[in-house]
């Protein structure tokens, strides 16, 4: 198992290691792309969760008359 931090910080070292073992070094680029996609998805999810939490707090402090409109 290759450490994802090492894969991001030292991709050339990982490529050289794979080549020395006779493996295809192109998997390093694929793994880096997959890791970046994962990090982007987590970032987008956390942004949406923060928006949801902020909206929830807004609903919590809203007067009773406005809550129905905020929830809908």
Distance, in Å, from the CA atom of 37 to the CA atom of 6, rounded to the nearest integer, reads 17
pLDDT at position 39 is: 97
Q: Which of 49, 71, 72 is nearest to 60 (CA)?
A: 71
Instruction: State the pLDDT at residue 33.
Output: 97
Measure the CA–CA gap between 40 and 16, rounded to whole angstroms: 27
Note the pLDDT of residue 52. 96
**Gap between the Cα atoms of 23 and 44, Å rounded:** 34
Residue 62 is given by DSSP the state: S
Fill in the DSSP letter of residue 23. -
Please state the domain extents for the chain: 4-71
Per-residue pLDDT for the chain (72 aa), expressed as one digit of tens each? 888 899 999 999 999 999 999 999 999 999 999 999 999 999 999 999 999 999 999 999 999 888 888 887
Predicted local distance difference test score (pLDDT) of residue 67: 87
């Amino acid at each position: 198992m290759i450490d994802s931090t090492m894969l991001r910080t030292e991709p050339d070292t990982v490529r050289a290691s794979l080549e020395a073992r006779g493996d295809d070094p192109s998997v390093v680029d694929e793994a880096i792309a997959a890791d970046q996609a994962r990090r982007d998805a987590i970032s987008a999810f956390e942004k949406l969760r923060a928006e949801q939490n902020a909206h929830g707090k807004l609903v919590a402090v809203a007067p009773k008359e406005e809550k129905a409109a905020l929830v809908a």
